Amino acid sequence: MIAPAALEGLWVPLKAEMAGEAAPAMVLERTELTFRAGRYTVRFGGEVSDAGSYTSVDSPGHPGLLLVGATGPNAGRKIPCIYQLAGDRLRICYGFDANLPEAFSTQAGTPHYLVTYRRKP
């Protein structure tokens, strides 16, 4: 499936948590996510730290994406996720265990990463 054009652009995280633990503010302040033409790029401190492709996937209840890492720590990995897009806010829950998350939540012992982004003009 073709990914929605509405996701394209530059996104900066406002808040994030992994396995129930909040991400440090320093990490949020230095991270950017770009979606463009079926490719995603994560920059940390201005340097590309992760990149690959993305496509839409069928998902019960929420729109879904499948990220396929090409470079960085997720090279060769398939990461399914669900998302919500409302205006300039994008919320994504990533399933780092290769399973599509069912809800926008994380808890101890689960490899889910939940991020709320703001579109950067």
Q: Which amino acid is at 64?
A: G
Q: Quote the CA–CA distance of 67 and 51 in Å, as a whole number.
A: 9
| The predicted structure's pLDDT at residue 85 | 94
- Domains of the chain, by residue range, sit at 5-120
Domain 5-120 carries which CATH code?
2.40.128.490
The two structure tokens encoding residue 1: 């499936």
| The predicted structure's pLDDT at residue 120 | 93
pTM of this structure = 0.93
Confidence bin at 1 (pLDDT 50/70/90) = low
- How many contiguous H segments (helices) and E segments (strands) does the chain have? 1, 9
Q: Give pLDDT tens digits for 10-54.
A: 999 999 999 999 999 999 999 999 999 999 999 999 999 999 999
Helix (H, G, I), strand (E, B) or coil at 61: coil
